[in-house]
Every structure is written in C-alpha cells, then in structure tokens.
A and B are shown apart, each in its own frame.
Chain A
Amino acid sequence: MGIYSKPVVFALIATLVILVGTVVTVFVPMFMPSTQPVSAYVKPYTAIEQEGRDIYMREGCNNCHTQTVRPLRTEVLRYGEYSKAEEFAWDRPFLWGSRRTGPDLNRVGGKYPDSWHYKHMHSPQSMFALSNMPPYGWLANNKLDTSESFRKTQILGYGYSEAEVQQQIADYKAKVTAPDYNSKATRDEVTPEALRGELTEMDAIIAYMQKLGRDVKAMESQQ
C-alpha cells in the first residue's frame, strides 16, 4: 500500500487518472474540426446583434431558454429544422442552455415581426396572460452603449474594420428610427420619448432574436 503513505506521489497519480478521460473526450476533440465545423453560410453577428447577445447573457436568458433544436420529430415540428454544428462557429460562449422553462430560440429569427418582440419584451403577460416570463420593458429605458462594440468584434474575431462596425451601428439606428419602420408604432409605444431617436438595449436584443437561425433559413430557401 505504498502510495497511501506518499501524498505527493498519490496526488500525481490521481491527477493522471483524472486527465485520461479529460484528454480523450475534451482536449483531443478541440483539435478535431468535426467538433466545431465552420461553414461559409453562417455569418458572424453584427455589432448590434452581438450587443444584443451580451444583454441576453447579462439577463441570464439562457436559464430558461435553450438554443438547440434536437433531431426529434415533435421538436422539429414545434421549432423548425434541427440545429447543425456549424451554426455555432461564432458563439463564444455557446448558449445552448439546459432547461426549457420557455421555448427554444434557435429558430426564432424571422418567425415574428419586430413589433411582436417589442410588445412581448415589454410585457409578456399582455400577450400571454399566463406566461411566467419576467417583463423586460426597462430595456427600452437604457440607451445602448456601443463604446466597446468594435473591441468586442475584434476579440471575437469577426473581422470587421472599425468603420464597418460604425456603419452597422448607424445602419441599424437608421432602420429602427426611420418613419417607415414597419414596427414603428409598437417601438414608440414601449420606448420613452427621449430615446426614440437612439438605439436602446431593447433594440439590440431584438436584433439578436431576429438573427437566431436566420442563416440556416436563408440557405434552405436558396436550395
């Protein structure tokens, strides 16, 4: 029983023992392209969508919503085409979740108009009386902070130039503040007057919602 009286040797052996499974199932797959394939049809998030994703993380939305549709008949019926590995190539971190208190969101992009989301984020209960989702109307009271947007896309390796990021922000702002924006009435309803001409956190999280699954849908409609 030698090693039970040699603590350092014991600790080293224990470390080796726990590293076997770790190396085989975690470290080796990191270097296998099949673990996280990359595909040209999946585009990185725009700066605004990324800001929305960060708000999604800040609010812990992943505690109630998954973002992975399993290849099961009823699941595909409910949410749409099952999730493919390459869709997540830009996701740092992944947001697949572990509990569906609310529905899966991996195919929510394009499912509803922006106005639906403005109304729903503002008061889920106004649309579904029995929903238990917390209301997020206050997101529209916060002006979106885009001061670090470019650095975020740099760290995440999206490959945008600073000018491109500024353009993305300006374009999205122009879109949601335009007089002919198709969800203008609802946006104005939930956004305080002073911020109607600005981008809010609500605008960003909705941009993110609308991105989810869009690349897959775009690819399918081309085929």
Chain B
Amino acid sequence: MNDTGYDYSIVRGFAFSALFWLIIGLVIGLWIAFEMFNPALNLTPWLSFGRLRVVHTNGLGLGFGLAGIFATAYYMLQRLTRTPLPFPGLAKAHLWLFNTAIALAAVSLMAGLNTTKEYAELEWPLDVGVVILWVMFAVNVFAILIKRQEKQMYISLWYLVAMTVTVAVLYIVNNLEIPLNLFKSYSIYAGGNDANVQWWYGHNIVGFIFTVPVLAMFYYFLPKATGLPIYSHRLSIVSFWALIFAYLWTGAHHLMLTPLPEWIQTVAIAFSIFLIAPSWGSVVNGYYTLQGNWDQMRTNYLTKFFILGITFYGLQTLQGPLQGLRTLNAFFHYTDWVVGHVHMGTMGWVTMIISASFYYMIPKITDRELYSVKLANVHFWLILVGQLAWTVTMWIGGIQQGAMWKATNPDGSLMYSFLDGLTSLYPYYRMRFAAGVVYFIGILIFAWNLIQTVRQEPSAAAEA
C-alpha cells in the first residue's frame, strides 16, 4: 500500500477498535446516568448500577483509551523513527488479544467478578492477560527504538517510553493478590496500605494513560496538523521530567481526611500544587506554538480540537490540585463535583485530542481524504457543548450536595437528611443525561465520518 514498508493495518485495527469501545462505553454511561434518577433500569443483576459503573469506566479507560493510545503509538513510533514496525505479527496478535481481553473484561465485570480497586477491578486471570498484552506492546516499542533510523528521539517518544515503563510498574504492584480460585482473589495489602497503593495506582494510571500518551499525541499531531513547530524544545524537556517525577507523589490526595497517615496526605498536597507547573508547561507550549497563527482556529478544523483539548487539560490540572487542598477537599470530596472534574478530562481533553489525531491519521494511512470536514465541525461543537453542559451540571450539583451535607440548624443539628441531599440532585441528573445524549450524538458523527472515509475510493492525489 505504501513504499515505506510501514505497517498501517495495525494502526487502523486499533483505531476502529477504539471507536467500537467508545460507543459501547458511552451507551453504558447513558444507561447508568439514567439509573441515577430512575432505578427502574436496574433490570437484572447484570444491569445494576454497581456492576455497570465499572464496565463504563473500564470500557472507556481500557477499551477506548488504550486502543486509541495503541493506534496512535504504532503510527507515531514508525513515523518518528522512520522505521517499519519490527514485529508486525506480534502487533497483530496484540490487537486480537486486546479486543478479546476487553470483551472478557466487560462480561466478567457484569457477572460480578470485581476486585473493587478502582480502574483495577479485573480479576487476576485478566490481570495476567493485561500484563501479557503490555509486554507484547513494549517489545515493539523498544525494538523499534533500538532499530530506529532517526538519531534523536522526539518529545512524543519520551512520553510513550515513560508510559510503557510506568504503567507496567503501577499495574503489577496494585494488582498483587492471592487467588482463591479462577474467579476470586484477595489483595495482598490490608486497609490503609491497600488504600495507599490503590490511589497511588488510581491517580497515576489516569496520569500515565489519560495524560502522558495524550501529550505524546498532542506534541506530534499539533505540529503536523498546523504546520507549525513546537514553540520551545527546552520547555518540553523541563515539563516532561518534572511531570513524571512529581506525579507519583500525589495519589494520597484521593484519601484526604481518611485514616491514612497525615504526612502522606500532606506530601501529596504539596506535590499536587507543584504539578501545576509542568502541566501548564505543556499548555503554554501548545498556545505559543500557535502564536501569530490564531486564524487557524477558524480555518483549520483540527486546530480547534487541539487547542480546546489542551485548554481543558489546563483547566483540569488547575482544578485537580485545588480540590486536593484539605479544606476544599473536605467540602467537595464524595460529591458529584469530582465526577464533573474527571469527565472534563476524559470528555474534553482525552477525547478531543484522540478525535483530532484520528482525523489527521486515518486519511493519511488509507490514502483517502476525510469524508466530511463539515461533519467533523459538527462533531466538534456537539462534544464541546455536551461536555460543558455535563461537567458544569455536575459541579453545581456537587456544590449543592456538599453544602447540604454541611448545613446545620441554629441549635447545631443537621439541617438535611442524606436523602434530602440526594433527591435534590435529580434535576441535575436529568440534565446530565441530556448533555450525555448530545455528546453521544457527536461521537456517532465522529465514527460515521471515519467509517465513510475508509469506505471511499482512494483519492486521486494519493494514487499519483
């Protein structure tokens, strides 16, 4: 298909796997969003909220997120090293095993096989599968880097290497468990230690799946899509090392005011505040890359995705450290505020960057023009509006719930029962569902646009 010998079939396979799991994950998201204000949808044990919520988070985090990362990683690795994939057969096996594992993961979680450690809910046989998958990926990553034709490793490759090693450490340490049988195991850690390990993992798996590789995409595809070089190489170096150093200290901000020793919480707060600097290093680098060319926000549909994406990353990385502060955390923790925070990152930053990366990449690897730029613009506006309505609704709901939990009468007694606080959220839950539908329509248009793109005849320009 192309004279360079690059393996693009693997890129395409993972890209469309990502779209598939994205749609499945969002359907489940809408389902559980509805259950939040109308429990009638808890039709069977398999469809009850407690089981489905983890199918939603794992389906989108591991299914969509990882597939999107693998697709773009296999593309960037080959382009940035100017080297064909060393083991295309291994990559193909990786693709098949990946989709099998995600399908088994979804079924097993619906069946109630759940270790309850957030984003690590899979039972041990699937954990073993995930580790094997990761090794299969890592072999190609390191082999291509060693065989590379391009001497210097570009920024995006640093982020991919950091992800490859860190996710391995996180996943293995947090999933150490003693099997009872094939379907059940117990964590080797107890109580406070288990909590500490889990949120070290929970925070960093988000960091090294939803931040680090997405930054790799941002640093690669933004210059490609805009034709502008990254503003500062030095800033990207400083940001990279500061980010991967500081991230690992911050997990305990998820355990503020719990029985975890206070010093671990305080260290986490300090490093969380510090993390604003390297996070904004990338934000600033992105914005300054566009200096003098801001008209591209009008003329280049891809620029919109990247700049809005990095903007949500910037907001996310300000909001996160602030809600980690003890006093603010005492108010916001356990409310829907945090749910809103997460979804700005996933629905805003992650999905916008992966969308734009696919829009750039899929036409390139298939020798076709994008089916419709107009539809891509519609997709952009629907997911932007859907996401904003979604997250702002949850923030307001979170503030309200936090305030109702804290409210006391003049005599010092509680003003509201727990149920008062919950039922006052139902209007917000209905709005959140509606916002989710808007967002979902945007994603369907995204998928349709890419499917139509690859179904076209190859473009004349590409054939010439």
Contact = CB atoms under 8 A, between A and B. Distances in A.
Given A29-B264, A74-B408, A7 B153 contact: yes
Interface of A: 1, 4-5, 7-8, 10-11, 14-15, 17-22, 24-26, 29-30, 32, 34-36, 54, 57-64, 66, 68, 70-72, 74-75, 77-78, 83-85, 87-103, 124-125, 128, 130-135, 138, 148, 151-152, 155-156
Contacts of B257: 70-72
Contacts of A54: 184
A35 B112 contact: no
B29 interface: no
Interface stretch (B86-94, B159-167, B223-231, B299-307): B159-167
Interface residues of B, number: 92
Contact of A93 (B35, B113, B198, B245): B198
Given A35-B193, A132-B35, A63 B261 contact: no
A95 B192 CA distance: 10
A90 to B, nearest CB: 7
Contacts of A102: 418, 422
B186 A29 contact: no
Interface string B130-170: 00000000000010011010011100011001101110010
A25 B200 contact: yes
A58 B114 contact: yes
Contacts of B165: 11, 14-15, 18
Nearest to A156: B186
B423 A60 contact: no
A5 B151 contact: yes
A77 B194 contact: no
B24 to A, nearest CB: 18
A30 B193 contact: yes
B458 interface: no
Nearest to A67: B258
Contacts of A10: 153, 158, 161
Contacts of B37: 132
A63 B117 contact: no
B380 interface: no
Nearest to A142: B45
10 contacts: A5-B153, A15-B165, A18-B248, A21-B271, A22-B200, A60-B50, A85-B259, A90-B191, A96-B195, A155-B180
Contacts of A95: 116
